[in-house]
Amino acid sequence: MRSLSKNPKYKVKTFKSAEECLSNGQTVADAYIVDYNLPGKSGIEFYEAIKNKLKENNKLIMMSAIDDGNMVLSFIKRGVRDYVIKDNTIIDSLMAILEGKEDEYYLFD
């Protein structure tokens, strides 16, 4: 996230856990970048806790080091629209999604 926080277009706030973010009490962020394998609540449990607050223009990007089509399909079935694999293209993938250019960027192998 350091790379994104260096970009003046983005205001980045980090949390150590889903619980910390949920207890922050601030309004819904424009975008959430969530690791699937968080300590405490998982990334998908975090999504389930906030999905009713998300509007069409809010983004929630799930990321993981696991490249598993079945897991991605389970995210989609729950309503997660964006997923990136933590690899050497993660920053490009995240920026494409954040800028609404995911259709122009090849996100999956």
Instruction: Read off the pLDDT band of 49 (50, 70, 90).
Output: very high
In 3D space, the residue among 46, 50, 27 whose CA is nearest the CA of residue 35 turns out to be 46
For residues 98 and 105, give the distance between their C-alpha atoms in angstroms, rounded to a whole number. 12
Report the amino acid identity of residue 45: E
Asked if residue 84 lies in contact with residue 104, where contact means CB atoms within 8 angstroms, the answer is no
pTM, entire model: 0.84
pLDDT digits (tens, 9 = 90+) for 83-108: 999 998 888 889 889 988 877 665 45
38 and 17 Cβ atoms separated by less than 8 Å: yes
Average model confidence (pLDDT) for the chain?
87
Would you identify the CATH topology of the domain 2-102? Rossmann fold (3.40.50)
Neighbours of 91 (CB within 10 A): 14
